[in-house]
Amino acid sequence: MKLRSVFLAAALAVTASVSGLAPATATTSLNASQIVADMGAGWNLGNQLEANSNGVPSETAWGLPAVTPALIDKVKAAGFKTVRIPVSYLGYIGAGPNYQINAAWLNRIQQVADYAYQRGLYVLINMHGDGYKTVNGSWLICDSGNQATIKAKYQKVWQQVAARFTGYDQHLVLESMNEEFDGQYGNPTQPCYSNINAYNQIFVDTVRKTGGNNSSRWLLIAGWNTNIDYTTGNYGFTLPTDQFRSSSVPAAEKRIMISVHYYSPWDFAGEENGTITQWGRGAANPAKKSTWGQEDYLDAQLKLVHDAFVAKGYPVVVGEYGAIDKSSFDSANNRYRADFARAIVATSKKYGAATAYWDNGNNGQYGFGLFDRRSYAVTHQGIIDAIMGGLAGR
């Protein structure tokens, strides 16, 4: 048995060398609080691998250049330790029953993941655009009548993605879905939420069964629209069972994380106008500040996820947060965007959650960008400083 393990390790190293993947390493498994601390500040590679043209994924379809190692070097140098990579599959999924992912696309997903993984960063890979009704070619639709086909397709896609990453260590985290809901804001509907729960269960079972490090890997799952209230409250969310997890994981430990997003108040964080441009106790103009969603609300929201999940051993990742650039309307806006980011990171840390800032690659009016993806220049050092300060308690 020992000799067989030696041959297996050698084979994995050869495979890794050929593919450009850093050889799998035997890292100490981190528990819930340890991995959240180790993930540090996170950053989203938004609008790239989830971009598409007429339902066909393309990382340059939305006007950004192809991702390069130099960009990830800049992100790492800025202090980020986690890179979340949103991914769409859409028209690159073949016909059933095998639902084969386009080989070049799967190779590219791995290559971009390697840019971060090989630099010692945590990497989060998810399924991002396939569940939006507004996206041409979307299919992961929770209120569709064709659930048997959807679930079979979902299982096959994750089986292929997970198999590609079996040798990666704990720095690789897989995320089941992104902002999945029926497209109507408001209370969750049934049986739509039941289908979302079913997708999460399929995801966990499928990834675990691919073996290797996937049998003990941290997995990230989301509730209704990745919304805190609808994931923590009595609206229908259920945690998946983890029955195929490796027996090497201590029984008392979880290996499932919960994904939520934070863009409250939306009139400050996302509404594309100049009405609300300030946030927090430092706001100088009450007329420019939202009537809700301030520090007390943020604290209450993160306490909800702590009490529902963190306190029970399930880490939480605020996988997206941020506020759009409205400095064209208010020259002080970027200060409040920084205050907002600092508060989210600090409050998340207080309640045992990790964070990943939403960077969509766009700078200027209504952009979320922190870097210029062509020149790699930092465009909002103030926000980056606030993120790092929030993590450090400054």
> Which residues are CB-contacts of 117 (< 8 A; sequence separation ≥ 6)?
21, 22, 123, 168, 171, 172
The verdict on whether 50 is a catalytic residue reads no
Structure tokens at 227: 């919304």
Query: Which residue in the block uniquely carries the two structure tokens 């960077």?
Result: 359
> Which residues are CB-contacts of 354 (< 8 A; sequence separation ≥ 6)?
36, 39, 40, 42, 82, 315, 316, 317, 318, 348
The verdict on whether 253 is a catalytic residue reads no
Q: Which of 59, 175, 180, 320 is catalytic?
A: 320
> Which residues are CB-contacts of 352 (< 8 A; sequence separation ≥ 6)?
32, 33, 36, 306, 310, 315, 316
Q: With CA atoms as reference, report the closest residue to 153 among 203, 113, 109.
A: 203
Q: Which of 179, 180, 253, 271 is catalytic?
A: 179
> Which residues are CB-contacts of 38 (< 8 A; sequence separation ≥ 6)?
30, 81, 122
Annotate 36-54 with b (16+ C-beta within 10 A) or e (fewer).
Answer: beebbbbbbbbbbbbbbee
CA distance 251 to 364: 49
CA distance 73 to 60: 20
> Which residues are CB-contacts of 11 (< 8 A; sequence separation ≥ 6)?
none
Catalytic site positions: 179, 320
